[in-house]
Amino acid sequence: MRLDLFLPILRKPVPGKEPSKPGLFSRVVRAVLPKFFFDDTQKIRPGLFRRFLKKVGPVTLSSPFRRATQALCFTAFMAFFFYVCWPYTAQPDPAAVIKLDDNTDWHAHYALDLERKEKVQAEFFLVIDPLVAFSTSIASKTWEWSLPWAFGILGVCILFPRGFCGYLCPLGTLIDCFDWAIGKRVKIFKVKGEGWWVHLKYYILTGIIVSAFFGVLLSGFFAAIPVITRGMLYIVEPFQMGFIKGWHQVPALNAGQMLSIGLFLAVLCLGLLRKRFWCRYVCPSGAVFSVFNVFRATERKVESSCINCNKCVEICPFDAIKADFTTRVADCTLCQSCGGVCPTHSIKFVERWNLTDLKEENDPPVHETPIARRGFLAATAGSLLVVLGMRKAFGAGLEESGAVMPIRPPGSVPEEEFLQMCIRCGECFKACPNHVLQPEGFKQGLEGLWTPEAALNWSGCEPSCNNCGQVCPTGAIRALPLAEKKTARMGLAILNLETCLPHAGKEACQLCVDECKAAGYDAIEFMRVHPEMDQDGNLIEESGFSAPVVVHDRCVGCGLCQTRCNHINVEEKKLMMEAAIIIHAGKGERGDGSNYEDRMMGGSYIALRKKEADKREADRKKFLKQQGVDENDSYVPDFLKEEKTK
């Protein structure tokens, strides 16, 4: 079995030695393209294909299949992030509706647009990063839906060891581009030889796994795909939004986002030390694949015809070749760049048990840096210090302190599990129209950093959208059908009677009522306040103000009312310091005794609403019975009839 996917160097046939057979990739390409594309091996004349690849670069020349796969995967990642997750291809359409259980229509243009574009899951690269799935499952003590994907990519890597790193990872491709454009031109920071950093990725992986066992999720800070999605979100996405939709729709960066940008740039700038420094020595996602390489079925082998020319060492992007030119199997990604520069065709990629005509090992002598036990002990101790000694830094305990809780997206799991499952990838921010969801800063310490919260002074949650749950790779935000999302409570709108213009007797205002009615919730109604009386002490009809009142059992906390009040009364008219209607989350009680928000690991929100309605009806009947009133009698007071209706 041979997996030679490289383009071998063009050379004269060696007398007495049978030329090697073309690899799989070469045979496939030769069957499709015309003859002039390929080399003339008799006259040692390069074909059009080789001449073109040579102009692109030596790595592309030696391993064109890998470069083509990298380009395809990076293009797919960018398309998923900047097109599939871009919500503004959706346009309000009267025909874009779904039927609810009560046979009413509900606008669904954002949800239907994402469904139309999502031929492949937008979060595909996140779900095949095994560190994301494994660490989240350990931290939350749940079976993550992405675990089968993680095991699937590890299964592929039995045949292509660390193939994710060499072929699929968009962060690795971006680092390659940085190294080509900048890294190779800046020599002053280059490091030579091996140092303490050689096995750093294993120590970081150990710290992440140990922390996960104690319920602290750190993989979002270091895993490869969350790192690049946040980088694209905070650096590139504002330009997409600004140029296409307008710069007024770009929220200001907070301190947490600035920190994320700095860390992302640091990942790229590590290439100034050595090419692909992050991938070689730091990336814990790569460390998962390196550990799994013990199950590899294929391997890079070097034949005895090797002349110790060192060309393979110079071109290897992963530091996977030892001083004797054999393979560091834990680091090799089967990128095959080395095979394409070997002047004696001594490198082959075959089954690991192939021992035919191999080069003698330890010639020249190899002095490998062993993995230090103290490194693992330090990583474990550091993780325990973070979990036990610095718990306040990883969670500010807002709910217990009585502080204002962040408004989480609809369908979010309970807060403790949410912080253990949210990988801080930023997919939900990208898919959310109007930037309702924005990254949290340091309000909850480091544990809440970069997690999504609804910035309802900026914008309210669109009734026709369920995108955030559809693109969440870990289930921290449940993937709700739109009918379920319509009834999932983010919080409860609470009026400030002292600042609300009608309640304070200042002027008429019905912004929140109109917004709620237009959204389809009808959770805010009018009541008459500050009526005037005539000289006889009778109320003057139509006097006073029609003031808003929140119907608790209908409000889902979408925040459209708060957004409208803030934009008009606070920012435009400057009539108050903050919106007079604010969404609150947490464990406060509504009028019916339920919490401000719904945070469930599973189950139906529609069924929950029905259960609450049945309870209210039972309480109403119990009250009537206690009063000795038959609900069917004509003399039942009006307020009880209204209560029944509600």
Sort residue 495 into left (φ over 0), alpha (ψ -120 to 50) or beta. beta
Between 531 and 18, the higher pLDDT residue: 531
The predicted model gives 427-454 an average pLDDT of 91
Residue-wise pLDDT for 470-521, tens only, equals 999 999 999 999 999 999 999 999 999 999 999 988 888 999 999 999 999 9
Dist. CA 598–CA 612, nearest whole Å: 12
Q: Provide the pLDDT for residue 590.
A: 75
Q: Provide the pLDDT for residue 33.
A: 78
Phi/psi for 280 (5° steps) reads -70, -45
Q: Provide the pLDDT for residue 25.
A: 66
Q: Provide the pLDDT for residue 49.
A: 82
Quick check: bond before 58 cis, omega within 30?
no
The predicted model gives 178-193 an average pLDDT of 87
Tokens standing for 70?
A: 């990298």
The predicted model gives 357-386 an average pLDDT of 76
The predicted model gives 82-105 an average pLDDT of 86
Residue-wise pLDDT for 325-338, tens only, equals 999 999 999 999 99
Q: Provide the pLDDT for residue 643.
A: 43
Maximum pairwise Cα distance, the chain: 123
**pLDDT above 80: residue 633:** no
Dist. CA 300–CA 334, nearest whole Å: 7
Residue 600: closest CA among 421, 477, 517, 491 = 477
Between 93 and 254, the higher pLDDT residue: 254
Residue 515: closest CA among 471, 558, 458 = 558
Hey, which residues does 299 pair with through a beta bridge? 350
The predicted model gives 416-430 an average pLDDT of 93
Q: Provide the pLDDT for residue 645.
A: 40
Phi/psi for 545 (5° steps) reads -130, 145
Regarding pTM above 0.85, the answer is yes
Dist. CA 504–CA 374, nearest whole Å: 67
Q: Provide the pLDDT for residue 499.
A: 93
Dist. CA 379–CA 284, nearest whole Å: 13
Q: How far apart are the first and last CA of the chain?
A: 72
Dist. CA 12–CA 228, nearest whole Å: 44
CA 615 to the chain's CA centroid: 39
Residue whose entry in the numeric block shows the structure tokens 């979060």: 123
Residue 325: closest CA among 279, 371, 360 = 360
Residue 605: closest CA among 613, 111, 408 = 613
CA 493 to the chain's CA centroid: 29
The predicted model gives 156-172 an average pLDDT of 93
Give the side-chain half-sphere CA count within 13 A for 434.
Answer: 18
Between 399 and 367, the higher pLDDT residue: 367
Using 50, 70 and 90 to split pLDDT, how confident is the model at 640? very low
% pLDDT > 70, the chain: 89
The predicted model gives 403-423 an average pLDDT of 89
Q: Provide the pLDDT for residue 646.
A: 41
Dist. CA 525–CA 508, nearest whole Å: 14
Dist. CA 482–CA 475, nearest whole Å: 16
DSSP result, 502-514? TTTTS----HHHH
Tokens standing for 34?
A: 């015309």
Residue-wise pLDDT for 590-620, tens only, equals 766 678 899 999 999 999 988 888 888 888 7
Q: Provide the pLDDT for residue 381.
A: 76
- Written as one letter, the residue type at 396 is A
Q: Provide the pLDDT for residue 23.
A: 63
State which H helix or E strand residue 439 sits in.
strand 437-439
- Written as one letter, the residue type at 597 is E
Between 629 and 291, the higher pLDDT residue: 291
* Strand 524-529 versus strand 97-99 pairing type: unpaired
Q: Provide the pLDDT for residue 134.
A: 94
CA 440 to the chain's CA centroid: 14
Using 50, 70 and 90 to split pLDDT, how confident is the model at 53? confident
Q: Provide the pLDDT for residue 615.
A: 84
Q: Provide the pLDDT for residue 388.
A: 60
Q: Provide the pLDDT for residue 17.
A: 63
Dist. CA 126–CA 619, nearest whole Å: 48
Asked whether 226 and 423 are in contact (CB, 8 A), the reply is yes
The predicted model gives 92-114 an average pLDDT of 85
**pLDDT above 70: residue 56:** yes
CA 565 to the chain's CA centroid: 32
CB-count exposure of residue 567 (10 Å: 0-12, 13-18, 19+): middle
